[in-house]
Structure 1
Amino acid sequence: MKFSSQRYILNIILLLFGSVGLFGQTTISGEIKDGTTNEPLIGASILVKGTSEGTITDYDGRFELRTEQTFPITIIISYIGYTEKELVVNDDSQIEASLEESAITTEVVEVKGQRISEKQKASPLTVESLDGLAIKQTASDNFYDGLGALKGVDMTAASLGFKVINTRGFNSTSPVRSLQIIDGVDNQAPGLNFSLGNFLGSSELDVLKVDLIQGASSAFYGPNAFNGVISIETKNPFLNQGLAASVKAGDRNLLEGAFRFADGIRNGNGDEWLAYKINFSALRADDWPAENYNAVDGTRSVVGNPGRWDAVNIYGDEYFSLNDYSDEDVNLSTNRAGLGLFHRIGYRETDLVDYDTRNIKANAAIHIRTSPRKNYESPELIFSSSFGTGTTVYQGDNRFSLRDILFFQNRIEFRKRDKFFIRAYATNEDAGNSYDPYFTALRLQELAKTNELWAQDYIRYWQRNIYPQMVAREYPTPTVVDAQLVFDQNAARQWLADNQDDLTAWHNETAIAANARNILNNTSQDFFIPGTARFQSAFDSITSLKNNEGGTRFFDKSSLYHVHGEYTFNPTWAERIVVGANYRMYRPVSEGTVFKDTAGVEITNSEFGIYTGFEKKFTRKWILSGTVRIDKNQNFDLLVTPAASIVWSPDVYNYFRISFSSAIRNPTLADQYLNLNVGRAILVGNLEGYQDLITVESLRDYFSSNLNREKLVYFDVDPVRPEKVKTVEAGYRTTLFEKLYLDLGYYYSFYNDFIGYNIGVDAEFGTFGIPTSLQAYRVAANSLNEVTTQGFSIGANYYFANYYMLAGNYSWNKLNKAFPDDPIIPAFNTPEHKYNISISGRNVPLNLGFTRINNFGFNLNYKWIQGFVFEGSPQFTGDIPDYSLLDGQINVTVPKINTTFKLGASNILDNKTFQTYGGPRIGRLAYFSITYNFEKRIN
């Protein structure tokens, strides 16, 4: 490490620890539960009697209150709809208290039922959350989709089975800039280096809460927490026991079933020492087909072009230079007239993709308390195993059909809540029968006839059979006048404009002829027509062979191994000091179909990180915190990511915050080791750098200038290096009128070394400058430009009439400066403006005259998204228009049978909307579900 880096780290440590003082405070902590159901009460109020000092319980019903008072201390516990309770606390032992429901709802000073903990209010970062009640109330058909209604969150649907969550810009259908963890375990697919939404995640029955942390978070969560973190916490079988089961049916032949069972075993002293849980869920549905047959934005052939066009979801119809006769000055007066720019007949995605979505998830876990007498405070030893499999469509550079993908994850962990943990896990994947539909289309075309031969046959048929018909229909031809060849170009253009329908019919006729076998070429065949046995045989053969053996199937049995430990100290002079370290190793195995692991080459990639952080409260008004993290990947330099924040809370209602955070994103396995042939180019990783590539533009000039090699422009690509971001954020959270909760935030971010790609051609030339080989490469590379973004968001929750909440949020995100000449910077892919408005109610008593319902709930959410340009691969770059979605649901809980009935729909108005360019139009998904949930009471 250079001296300047050491000095930088020393300054950070002095900043974090230098002004920490010595203050003595008394700590009271514990857990508040419902006296009947034994469920934790979220948002219960705890006040020190005779003072204004207080707090509320978090999602687990737990609280921690620091006060200047000394023991004994009287606290007041209250919650809407429950009888208030006073307790005398004599020491710092853990409190376990329960409240009983009251017959009459009384007004209490604190905001009731808002389910927003003091911890969340005091967080230095922007945190959005879904707890168990919010999951039950979500207007979407599942909890994961419900995250899209949270403030500042972008939800993108590439298919029914693959949803992408992103925050603060630079969205992508390959969400490598977001981290998703389940119980602290990275949920990424090892080969892809990102999570497939909840396709390989948790069953909704087992989800306790979801926290979505927005912005740069590497200092807190490690590398790749670049744009945010989705943290899912599942239910602990010691605390949530019983049987839960659900069934859901709906549009698109949706059918989903799930169950969860958890129980505990007691020792001879009556203490639970072991608990276990089993989860299983299965889903099937008909996915939305990708049927966008408009011309790809920016291509030269528009919809209606007689010679067809490059359609978004038709593959193999892309521009090919030998099919371009659009130069009027050359072609109007020859027998190539009318050819213009024509495209090869391609294959629709619907002919190449299995839209029969399947998803199975299973999990089993055993929790062992090593000190059963300590109950909740006992350390736990955890053994957990998860499995996922299914079929869905994933969109990256191309659209990919993931068929029978398998995902295994095993974890062992020893932990004491809020004190320490040591966790080790392994993740293994198997790509199954997954393949690339785009490349499959090209393989099918190549199997029938090469592009060059197809173009020759097309032109020959046009000249021999179509042009004479044009002349017979009075198409102008050159004539000799006064020994001069004369041709009326204006008349020819007018003739072509007046005969578009005939030209379209002639091009279709010519395409059919070009699709037929060339009798002079024994290697050519007829076009493979979808729906025929001949097509199916060729399709099955191509998709069953690896993509380096003439097929398009992926072989991917990659894995990752991770060890992580953390310990929390609680000195007298600070709330806590945390130290931790982790080590990770990737082991990609693709047999050359994805990575550069051919000919016995084995690839491993490892990284480690260490970190420390602290939090200090000055009275209850000031909270100072900071973290420093150091990460080292085997292929890149050591990197430091610091973070620091100050939160000021003048009273229990107001929280002001300002923070600095940073993040890194190590190049993914693909950025480092990729070697993937997608037909038109080879996508390659870049650890070594590339020299003497030719720009695509100059190569075109070379061909159009009679092979003038002076037109060629060469360039080099430096080895890829990690991305970096730094963010300054300020915010304010407040409670007004005891019923209105507001959360405002503003951020400004600085990005450097964006990872994108350069496109170039490697060429060799023979006699007379004629190229003997040409190969296009897409090479991972970094941008040299610094990019800044900024954004603002506001969220409001208004609680009224005991049962209802009116909520809304608005987000503004802006890329401050675009660099149109820089091919590296990834697309912002984010609407500048978006908002949500919702109204909901829970446990609402309804008197219907003939009967009374005491546990009625509903939620209606309206979302509006401003249009934006979605930039993916060249095939999948275009405009996403403005769109809006209305989601809603109603539910009724019948306590006597522990069952909730729910009827709802996402996109109620059935607005067919594109959420990603190249993806399907997303329509309505109505559903009905029944959930049985018997909670075993834990004494």
Structure 2
Amino acid sequence: MRRLMFFALMLFGFATYAQTTVQGKVVDANNDPIPGANVILVGQSEGTTTDFDGNFTFNTNVAPPFKLLISSIGFSDYTANITSNNQTISVTLSEANTMLDEIVISASRTPERIFESPVSVERFGLKEIKNTTAESFYGGLQNLKGVDINTNSLTFQSINTRGFATLANNRFLQLVDGMDNTAPGLNFVLGNLVGMSELDVQSVEILPGASSALYGAGAFNGILFMTSKSPFDFQGISAYAKGGVTTQDAAGSNFYKDFGIRAAHAFSDKVAFKANLSVLTGEDWHANSTVDLNNPGADRSNPAYDGLNVYGDEVSTVLDFDAAAGLPSGTVGSAVISRTGYDEADLANYNAESVKADFALHIRPFANDLEVILNSRIGRGTTIYQGANRYAVAGFTMQQHKLEIKNDNFFIRGYIVSENSGDAYDTRFAAINVNRAWKSDVQWFTDYASTYIPAYLGGIQQGGLTPEQASTAAHAAGRQAADQGRLIPGTSAFQSTFNRVINDGNLLTGAKFIDQTKFRHVNGNYNIAHLIDDWADIQIGGSYRQYELNSNGTIFTDTDGPIKYNEYGAYLQVQKKFLDDRLKFTGSARYDKNEFFDGFLSPRVSFAYTLGEERNHNLRVSVQQGFRNPTTQDLFIGLNAGRAILVGSAPANLDRDVRTFDLSQNGQALTGQSTVEIVGRAAYENAYSTSSLQSGGLPEAVETPLVKPEEITAFEAGYRGQVGKFTIDLSGYYNSYSDFLANTAVAVPFYGEAGDMGLSLLALQNGDYQVYQTYTNSEANINSFGGTIGVDTKLGGFDLGVNYTYAELDIDEGKYPDLRTNFNTPKHKVKASFGKADLFKNFGFNVNYRWSDSYYWEASFADGDVPAYTVLDAQINYSVPSIKSVFKLGGSNILGDEYFTAIGTGNIGSIYYLSWSINP
């Protein structure tokens, strides 16, 4: 903290404070306020926006006279002449057809018109929040071009841009008022589960491409910025209440409610405070697919049945009935048998909940642009999260606490992000260990075999059945006998065992996972343009982060205490205009270092050129390199996920994962031991490729290289412009990946050295091996390319927008058949919107249409085809200015055609809602 304050005081010495203040109000031709209008200083990068009532306050260190450009989507620009300090102006904007004068900050870390942004950027402001058809502003982001939202559950939606993402999208960064919203232990953003209340959102910006040059390792494939309202500019008490119904075939119709309140007050021009609280509750989407992906067409009568949303049936073995009964080989035969599983509905609580609260104290000690902010955010959620398994996340909490000091030229902030998994548990291991608590695997399979053999022989010898008929009847009898006395959901015996299992953090006997991981982060930025007479916009900055992993050995290999490691970075950006301000150059470079890897340099260069007599056409090109550090789990995970043991590949982690396994009778005879101890290092240095085992050929010994950062080279070109009444925004990109982060599955023999053609092969034959999942990099050359085009206009006063997105993966799959890229995005997407904010006096409506092409989904839980789907959302709204209220009636997926965006999740049904919002 002393270093933080020292750095801040150094910056104070360079800062120059605002000398001029301008206040004003922006309205339309009907004298209605225009919220979110942009106010920028002509010829400079300084700017602000209007509040809900159209009011604004603009501070600058430029002395009058100067000009302010006021703009808003759907209105013509207005230029105001400022001749004196403390001047108050009133501005009336007339309708127009442009959306290119919005101000964005994310693309270059400085305010600039979206028209001149060096890269693709999408913006969602106050107007869009008011008009969104989705049940939440966050859900409304899926209507932006180039943006996918993968729905994990009712309260957990994951944003994806340009592919390469599962529901746990660790290639995408989300910042809330500058703080990384990533859950430290999970390594991905939980949507808006613990994010921001819509009452406090001023704007949302999305950069759909790589942004490592300014934002570091996390901004690898996209970044989202949420900026909240200042209590100095947006004061008073705001509130909203939503009530409605969710409908789904699996869950039926259930009540859905969401409410929030915001209070903000400026006690003076030096001190202001705000607080937010929002609560959402509802019934989550039920996942009830019984399809067996490993045995297409199989049902529960199949002895090896493994249902998608049925858990516990993953425990299986090959029963050699002839060997068990001492019969000649081929008499009865053998079969793969799985234990009887439990449906997800018997294991998960589908009560969805999201509670978010935040508090902020803003201090302007000199009543100018210098500001000190103390901010705390606390979120609590109950949801279903799908990763390697399906996790019932109950009472998950995440906290963020920040101290920030800033003015127009610099900021420095330090914050901490911590998570607590609450009562979260793994539904798959809950089923497995409830079964085992009642009857061990050995006993269950023994009971099955001892019933199957006489039933089969009797069916043939006394019953006159064919072998196939006898086998079917014997399997049914074997399962019935083995399941005799099985714990039944709904009974007290089941519930008591289930409760004990989900509160046990040892996955050999329980299902609970414990996670209290955190990270500490400090970053700063300084714009020195004012020191060099605005010759160029030059920014310098840096960051430092420390991770502290703490799962008590349930996720990471931290049984002996928390694991800590560090990373840091620094960057420089230069932005300058040439040729009568028509050509804009942006160049930046960032250096980052993680303690486990060599440092990495991320450069970016872009050029934007403005064409046309009216300067209403803009062309841009950019190229940049980026990188992504392996996640905390890539490095230090040590988790038995059932189908495989996951072991991270940080050099310090290889010997931390130590497990004991039982040997088969053959293995005991060979080694003279009943158990064996395997260290995680063996997965990387003493293993066989599982694909070679499955092929039936000679097993292939493999050594897996340790993981290192993934790299990207991204090329982008685009055009933004005004053509008559049409606003056009199009872009194309080409991404080339190297050292692509990947997982491989390997089989570690319990004895012998892989490749020795002796003991290790006997271990494989005897079933004395364990499957591990390793974390490494692929040698494959992986490329992706695509583009978007959006067209917006007004027809007869109605707003109409259409956009199209194309995405393609380029990889030699024949050369790398085992590589799983998790591209997970449709090749084609079409979206459209149609609405009018003032169809009648105080009455408006909006309709959103989305169509997605089919695509193949890859993830650790399951793979499969996602069919094409069409979604229609709509809303009507009525404003009552006398009580500063807006009433909205709307629905998402109002056609009622259920769909899903990932294999294994519940189908997405419909949500119908009625809301009442009050803004002062």
TM range (shorter): 0.7 to 0.9
| Aligned pairs (5 A) from 1:641-680 | 641-651=602-612, 652-680=615-643
Q: CA deviation at 1:429?
A: 1.1
2:706 corresponds in structure 1 to 719
Correspondence for 2:891: 905
CA distance in 1, matches of 2:909, 2:69: 50
After superposition, the Cα gap between the structure-2 partners of 1:843 and 1:692, relative to the gap in structure 1 and judged at 3 Å, is same
Matching of residue 320 in structure 1 with residue 316 in structure 2:
yes
SS in 2 for 1:717: coil
Q: 1:265 aligns to what? A: 267
Q: Deviations over 1:165-190 (max 9, x none)?
A: 01101121111000000011100111
Once residues 893 and 315 of structure 1 are traced to their aligned partners in structure 2, the CA distance between those partners, rounded to angstroms, is 50
CA distance in 1, matches of 2:422, 2:452: 45
- Cα pair distance change 1:813/1:308, threshold 3 Å: same
Select which of 448, 451, 460 maps to 2:450. 460
Deviating more after overlay: 771-780 vs 573-582: 771-780
- Does the CA contact (< 8 Å) of 2:451 and 2:481 recur in 1? yes
Please show how residues 2-151 of structure 1 align to structure 2 within 5 Å.
33-34=25-26, 42=37, 87-90=80-83, 97-100=89-92, 111=98, 119-151=113-145
Post-superposition Cα deviations, 1:154-173, rounded to whole Å, max 9, x if no partner, equal: 11111111111011011211
Closer/same/farther in 2, CA of residues 360 and 445 from structure 1, 3 Å limit: same
Distance of 1:72 and 1:593 partners within structure 2: 64
Q: Aligned-pair distance for 1:195?
A: 1.0
Choose the corresponding residue for 1:781, options 776, 784, 788.
Answer: 776
Q: Secondary structure at the residue paired with 2:550?
A: coil
1:148 shift after superposition: 0.7
* Alpha-carbon separation, structure 1, partners of 2:523 and 2:77: 42
Report deviation, 1:310: 1.8
**Matched residue count:** 831
Aligned pairs for 1:700-715 (under 5 A) are 711-715=698-702
Q: Distance in 2 between matches of 1:29 and 1:127?
A: 30
Question: Please, which of 153, 156, 180 is the counterpart of residue 174 of structure 2?
Answer: 180
**SS of the counterpart of 1:542?**
helix
Shift of 1:350: 0.9
2:820–2:858 contact (8 Å) kept in structure 1: no
Q: CA deviation at 1:451?
A: 3.5
Alpha-carbon offset, residue 73 of structure 1: 6.7
Q: Which runs of 5+ in 2 are unaligned?
A: 1-19, 105-111, 246-253, 652-680, 753-757
- After superposition, where does 1:359-374 map in structure 2 within 5 Å? 359-372=354-367, 374=368
- Which position in structure 2 is the counterpart of 1:539? 498
Partner of 1:425: 415
Question: Per-residue CA shift, 1:802-841, capped at 9, x if unaligned?
Answer: 4x21111110000012435353442211100111111011
Counterpart amino acid of residue 876 in structure 2 = I
**Structure 1: distance between partners of 2:432 and 2:260:** 40
Shift, 1:235, TM fit: 0.5
CA gap 1:157/1:325 in 2 versus in 1, 3 angstroms: farther
Deviations 1:116-137 (A, max 9, x none): 7761121111111110110111
CA distance in 2, matches of 1:85, 1:639: 45
* In 1: Cα distance, 2:746 partner to 2:73 partner: 65
1:202 is displaced (CA, Å) by 0.4
Query: Is 1:158 equivalent to 2:152 in the alignment?
Result: yes
| Alignment-derived partner of residue 614 in structure 1 | 574
- C-alpha separation between the residues in 2 aligned to 1:584 and 1:112? 38
Measured against aligned partners, the alpha-carbon deviations of 1:406-456 in whole angstroms (never above 9, x if no partner) come to 111100000013x10000001111111111111111212222334444333
Instruction: Tell me the secondary structure at the aligned position of residue 291 of structure 1.
Output: coil
Q: In the alignment, what sits opposite 2:205?
A: 211
- Structure 1 residue runs of 5 or longer lacking an equivalent are 1-27, 267-271, 477-491, 517-525, 706-710, 846-853, 935-939
1-structure distance, mates of 2:45, 2:186: 46
Q: Which is higher, the Rg of structure 1 or of structure 2?
A: 1
Q: Structure 2 counterpart of 1:439, which letter?
A: F
Check 1:193–1:113 CA distance in 2 against 1; reply closer, same or farther (3 A cut): closer
One-letter amino acid of the counterpart of residue 483, structure 2: N
AA matched with 2:771: A
Distance (whole Å) between structure 2 residues aligned to residue 131 and residue 83 of structure 1: 18
Does the residue aligned with 1:243 lie in a helix, a strand or coil? strand
Sort the Cα spacing of 1:611 and 1:397 in 2 relative to 1 into closer, same or farther, 3 A: same
Partner of 2:406: 415
Distance 1:764 1:817 in 2: 36
Question: Is 1:888 aligned to residue 874 of structure 2?
Answer: yes
Answering whether residue 896 of structure 2 is matched by residue 914 of structure 1, we say no
- Whether the aligned pair in 2 keeps the contact of 1:698 and 1:713 (CA below 8 Å) is yes
Q: TM-score, normalised by structure 2?
A: 0.84
Instruction: For 2:288, give the aligned amino acid.
Output: E
Cα 1:733–1:83, aligned 2, differ >3 Å: closer, same or farther? closer
Q: Aligned letter for 1:399?
A: R
In the alignment, structure 1 residue 390 sits paired with structure 2 residue 381: yes
Residues 597 and 893 (structure 1 numbering): CA distance in 2 closer, same or farther, change over 3 Å? same
When structure 1 is superposed on structure 2, of 219-228 and 630-639 the one drifting more is 219-228
TM-score between the two structures when normalised by the length of structure 1? 0.82
In the TM superposition, residue 777 of structure 1 has moved relative to its aligned partner by 1.4
Partner Cα separation in structure 2 for residue 790 and residue 78 of structure 1:
34
Match of 1:441, SS state, is helix
CA gap 1:930/1:86 in 2 versus in 1, 3 angstroms: closer
Distance 1:433 1:595, change over 3 A: same
Aligned to 1:687: 650
Give CA-to-partner distance per residue, 1:332-380, whole Å, 9 cap, x none: 996637x8654321111111111101111100001011221x3xxx210
**1:80 offset after TM fit, Å?**
9.4
Seen in structure 2, the aligned counterparts of structure 1 residues 922 and 471 have a Cα distance that, compared at 3 Å, is: farther
Can you list the C-alpha shifts for 1:712-762, whole angstroms capped at 9, x where unaligned?
A: 43211111101111100000011121x311101000000111112121222
The answer to whether the aligner puts 1:561 opposite 2:515 as a matched pair is no
Q: Given the superposition, is the C-alpha separation of residues 680 and 333 from structure 1 closer, same or farther in structure 2, using an over 3 Å criterion?
A: closer
**Superposition RMSD in Å:** 3.5
Aligned to 2:286: 289
SS of structure 2 residue aligned to 1:625: strand
Contact 1:47 1:77 in 2 (8 A): no
Q: Deviations over 1:52-92 (max 9, x none)?
A: x99998677989999xxx9967778687999997744458x
Cα offset, 1:786, TM superposition: 1.9
Conservation of the 8 A alpha-carbon contact between 1:82 and 1:100? no
Are the structure 2 counterparts of residues 724 and 135 from structure 1 closer, same or farther at C-alpha, using a change threshold of 3 Å?
same
> Which residue of structure 2 aligns with residue 597 of structure 1?
558
Q: Counterpart amino acid of 2:546?
A: M
Mark the CA change 1:65 to 1:111 in structure 2 (over 3 Å): closer, same or farther.
farther
Change (3 A) 1:503 1:697: same
Partner of 1:465, secondary structure, is helix
* Contact 1:301/1:341 (8 A) holds in 2: no
**Structure 1 residues 276 and 574, CA gap change in structure 2 (3 angstroms):** same
How far 1:765 sits from its partner (Å)? Answer: 3.1
Q: Distance in 2 between matches of 1:589 and 1:45?
A: 47
8 Å CA contact retained: 1:758, 1:781: yes
Identity of aligned residues (%): 34
Opposite residue 496 of structure 2, the aligned amino acid is: S
Is 1:584 equivalent to 2:552 in the alignment? no
Amino acid at match of 1:428: S
